[in-house]
Amino acid sequence: MKKKLTLLFSLVLLLYPLSLIGQTPPEEFLGHKVGADRKLADYNQICEYFKKLDEESEKIKVLTIGKSTLEKPLIMAVITSEENMPNLDDYREITKKLRDARNLTEEEAVQLSKEGKIIVILTCNIHSTEIASSQMAMELAYDLVTGKTIFDSDKVLKDVIVLLVPSSNPDGEQMVTEWYRKYSGTRYEGGRMPWLYHHYAGHDDNRDWYMLNLPETKAITDVLYRDWIPQVHIDEHQMGSTGARLFLPPFMDPPTLTVHPLIWRGIALFGTNMAYELQKDRLSGIVYGRSFTGWWIGACDDTSWLHNSIGILSEMASVNIASPIYVDPTEIPSSYTEKRIHFPDPWTGGWWRLRDIVDYELTLSQSLIKTAYLHKDELLLNFYRMCKEAIEIRKEEDPFAFIIPRDQHDYPTALKMLDILMAGGVEIHQASEDFIADGKTYPSGSFVVLMSQPYRPYAQALLEKQKYPELRQYPGGPPIPPYDNAGWTLPLQMGVKCDRIDDTFKTPLKKVFKIIFSPITVPEEKPYMIIDCKTNASYSVIFDLMKSGAEIYRSKESITKKEFEGAYGSFIIKNSPEIQKILPDLLNKWHVVAYGLDDITDIPKNPLKRYRVGFYQSWKANMDEGWTRYVFDSMEIPFTTLHNRDFKGTKKNKVNLKKKFDVIVFADENADIIKSGKPSPNSPYARRYTEMPPQYEGGIGDEGIQALKSFVEQGGILVTLNNACGLVFKEFNVPARDALEKVKRNEFFCPSSILKIKVDNKTPIGYGMPDKAAALFSRSLGLSTWIPSGNWDRKVVASYPKENILLSGWLLGEDKIARKAAVVDTTYKKGHIILIGFRCQNRAQSHGTYKFLLNSLLYPEK
Ligand SMILES: [Zn+2]
């Protein structure tokens, strides 16, 4: 029967033009209305639906633009008129031409703006629990191809190319839907998952848009700044449930300083038109200019601002995934009950459903397309003009270039930084001879980022130091925090030397099209080999060699030989036929240099044994755990994930962690959560705590603390990152505490900023570090230590200097952190507890301080 039907259908297909057959509405495909209570389409269904629509309409083409972390196809629909479809490549070429005024006159640009089409991209559901937009996307696509729109879609789609990404995080969409379905109808319906909704990043998948660690970010970045170059971009989100129904820009202060003013005006134009369109439909509760700042946080839509593209964020009030909620009028915060110019029509409470969100999002998405259509020519021309200004006009305060000198502490990491910049659309040059800039001589091979380039706002924002404006609630009052980070300067985070050059200079420069890591010469066969530990990648080589059972030492001093110098802690490897076999590939894979040695008797050294690493994962979906896991996986560091149950034995059979592990790491997490699974009742997180299914409740418990104590006593190494240090203050009597714990916010305030630290690189945890480095401080600690007694000892590895501590971002109350320790290596009986009081591997961005963590995993034996 089925076969016959298919045959019949194929015949119909042959006989009729596609447009006459009709397209399947999503509700018919899904068996329920989009956004119906307690109904969700999962990612597989969404892909199926888009595929079907692609087969049924000439106005939509579905592309796979990449693969997700867990290997799902990342799809994007291209929706435009039938006439435009065969010429998409030509239109993409036009936007590329408009970007580069070096090859285009104003007259040609005017002409191209008329010929070209405006490209609008809608990205949905990057945050998986903010699920409405992934559902809405199906209906939006259907409405666009069938003309059920607030505009004449035949006319509009002739001028607009719509790119629609139904989910920027396919894995998460699928996970959240499956979890929701599993617990639907139980007391946990609509509740949190115990794991991250992005394999590594969770909610931070929207903080990766300059580092491009994740395949999803990379794929969409290619669409945005390489393949399609849309001039308008919206990223659709959801926020809390009780305040406004919808946030639309304009954003609130402060703005990112390198963004072109026309971008802020364009954002306001689109935002206001969307609010206007919604208000016409009597959709209330829309606010602008609150909560969401114009200070870049490395998020998806705001990265567009820095590429001269209008980037918009929409934030709808949430429901419990797909379950409706009732908001009592008294539960609405008073600031959302009064009429204001930026909030003229407060929502008055009542039931709030998934479909409500879908309705708002359908209208605002269509409004966006309509505004793009109405201003098509000038939006294209203004894109050209902004890029032209970036190339031609340099104000006195603007830098001329940034130079990344050839001689670097960690050269492969410097190349990695350049590679990331290029992936974000930055143009890079390389000097072919020695040259002088700002009175300093740079060697041939140094890299130069000239600020005269189309994406100057982006290049400059990443390379320069941020100075966050001093915003207070009232003069002398508490600081107004940024939405996320205040400082992010990439060279500081990655430990890469980079000089800002204000004066012009001239030297022969070659444009770099691809970052080439030079091939490694494998040293001639000698009894020993030495690898300097200044490069992060050297640790990956060592972990790999350890798998092959290599005999490895760390030097206790710096090594100076004829051909090389090695820092304290350099790796010495005993050669063998097996090692000789794997070494060339290994060195080339990680771009690490090794040297041969005949004799090592004169080098003081300690042996390294193969460490077994255990890494704690709570059931609280901790993003820092995810990013740390990312660092381990990307550096190929073997580890075992530990859950609460692994810290619990039976009465007869107590758990012995030392039997299985040598190092146990706790990522940044509140100590109460680690111990009990719950924040302490007076913590600000207590209110947001929700019940979980019983197997995910609780923490490592008293038993876990005891097990960790005995682990350290037996010689184990316990590593606590950032707030996890709280665990050892409370439970271990470690001779250190957080001196900032009780300091008030208007006395000390440092929202995600970069601070200067001094490092003792002659001690194992500081090995391979420069003596001055940059620490990413984010809800971090200022450690004070004291002269210990009994079984304890302590070594301050890194500390904040006396003054001039801020490198990038915002720091109030410098004196409170001055001379405090940042990293402390404490000894207890045979083992160590390492306290790293800042985010040394923050979001897999702060490569410059990875070594504190890596050294904790490769602590040499005595
Ligand atoms: Zn969001």
**C-alpha 839 to ligand 1 mean position (Å):** 23
**C-alpha 730 to ligand 1 mean position (Å):** 34
Cβ atoms of 73 and 38 within 8 Å: the answer is no
**C-alpha 577 to ligand 1 mean position (Å):** 53
* Cα dihedral 352→353→357→359 (10° resolution): -110
Rg (CA), the chain: 28
pLDDT for 26-35, tens place per residue? 999 999 999 9
Lowest mean pLDDT: which of 91-105, 264-278, 434-448, 521-535? 521-535
Cβ atoms of 724 and 214 within 8 Å: the answer is no
**C-alpha 169 to ligand 1 mean position (Å):** 12
Cα 737 to Cα 718: distance, rounded to the nearest angstrom: 16
SS3 577: helix
**C-alpha 124 to ligand 1 mean position (Å):** 10
Mean of pLDDT values over 153-182:
98
* Cα dihedral 386→389→391→393 (10° resolution): -160
Lowest mean pLDDT: which of 54-68, 150-164, 227-241, 554-568? 554-568
Cα 80 to Cα 90: distance, rounded to the nearest angstrom: 14
Burial of 445 (C-beta count, 10 Å sphere; 0-12/13-18/19+): middle
Indicate whether 108 pLDDT > 50: yes
**C-alpha 836 to ligand 1 mean position (Å):** 30
* pLDDT on residue 131: 98
* pLDDT on residue 394: 86
**C-alpha 311 to ligand 1 mean position (Å):** 15
**C-alpha 683 to ligand 1 mean position (Å):** 24
Considering 21-25, 296-300, 395-399, the range whose residues carry the highest mean pLDDT is 296-300
**C-alpha 291 to ligand 1 mean position (Å):** 13
Determine which helix (DSSP H) or strand (DSSP E) holds 822, and give its type and residue range.
strand 821-828
pLDDT for 810-851, tens place per residue? 999 999 999 999 999 999 999 999 999 999 999 999 999 999
**C-alpha 127 to ligand 1 mean position (Å):** 5
**C-alpha 315 to ligand 1 mean position (Å):** 7
Q: Which residues pair with residue 752 across a beta bridge?
A: none
**C-alpha 205 to ligand 1 mean position (Å):** 10
* pLDDT on residue 5: 47
Binning pLDDT at 50, 70 and 90, where does residue 241 land? Answer: very high
**C-alpha 203 to ligand 1 mean position (Å):** 7
Indicate whether 746 pLDDT > 70: yes
* pLDDT on residue 3: 46
Closest by Cα among 561, 495, 494, 504 to 528: 561
- Geometric angle at alpha carbon 333, from 330 and 335, rounded to 5°: 130
Cα 747 to Cα 729: distance, rounded to the nearest angstrom: 23
Percentage of the chain modeled with pLDDT above 70: 98
**C-alpha 410 to ligand 1 mean position (Å):** 35
**C-alpha 341 to ligand 1 mean position (Å):** 25
Helix ranges (DSSP H) in 536-686:
536-547, 577-590, 623-634, 657-660, 671-676
**C-alpha 326 to ligand 1 mean position (Å):** 21
**C-alpha 119 to ligand 1 mean position (Å):** 23
**C-alpha 235 to ligand 1 mean position (Å):** 9
**C-alpha 313 to ligand 1 mean position (Å):** 9
Indicate whether 259 pLDDT > 90: yes
Cα 846 to Cα 757: distance, rounded to the nearest angstrom: 14
Closest by Cα among 520, 534, 527, 608 to 565: 534
**C-alpha 237 to ligand 1 mean position (Å):** 4
**C-alpha 367 to ligand 1 mean position (Å):** 21
Binning pLDDT at 50, 70 and 90, where does residue 2 land? Answer: very low
* pLDDT on residue 524: 80
pLDDT for 326-343, tens place per residue? 999 999 999 999 999 999
Cα 299 to Cα 287: distance, rounded to the nearest angstrom: 21
**C-alpha 126 to ligand 1 mean position (Å):** 7
**C-alpha 415 to ligand 1 mean position (Å):** 32
| Mean pLDDT computed over every residue of the chain | 95
CA distances from 704 to 148, 644, 647, 655, 708 (A): 60, 8, 5, 9, 6
**C-alpha 583 to ligand 1 mean position (Å):** 45
**C-alpha 713 to ligand 1 mean position (Å):** 44
Percentage of the chain modeled with pLDDT above 90: 89
pLDDT for 611-622, tens place per residue? 899 999 999 999
pLDDT for 757-814, tens place per residue? 999 999 999 999 999 999 999 999 999 999 999 999 999 999 999 999 999 999 999 9
**C-alpha 658 to ligand 1 mean position (Å):** 41
**C-alpha 238 to ligand 1 mean position (Å):** 5
**Which segments of 193-265 are extended strands (E)?**
232-239, 246-247, 252-255
**C-alpha 100 to ligand 1 mean position (Å):** 33
**C-alpha 482 to ligand 1 mean position (Å):** 16
**C-alpha 497 to ligand 1 mean position (Å):** 34
CA distances from 619 to 109, 756, 787 (A): 55, 34, 37
* pLDDT on residue 19: 47
pLDDT for 459-504, tens place per residue? 999 999 999 998 888 988 888 889 999 999 999 999 999 999 999 9
- Name residues with Cβ closer than 5 Å to ligand 1, which is an ion: 127, 130, 237
**C-alpha 239 to ligand 1 mean position (Å):** 7
- Residue 194 — φ and ψ, nearest 5°? -80, 0
Mean of pLDDT values over 148-171:
98
**C-alpha 774 to ligand 1 mean position (Å):** 29
Mean of pLDDT values over 14-23:
59
pTM listed for this prediction: 0.96
Mean of pLDDT values over 376-386:
98
Indicate whether 209 pLDDT > 70: yes
* pLDDT on residue 10: 53
**C-alpha 166 to ligand 1 mean position (Å):** 14
More confident residue, 15 or 451: 451
pLDDT for 408-442, tens place per residue? 999 999 999 999 999 999 999 999 999 999 999 99
Torsion over CA: 406, 407, 408, 413 (sign): positive
**C-alpha 130 to ligand 1 mean position (Å):** 6
**C-alpha 249 to ligand 1 mean position (Å):** 15
Interacting residues of 77 by C-beta distance below 8 A, sequence separation 6+:
50, 53, 54, 60, 61, 62, 63, 137, 141, 162, 163, 164, 165, 166
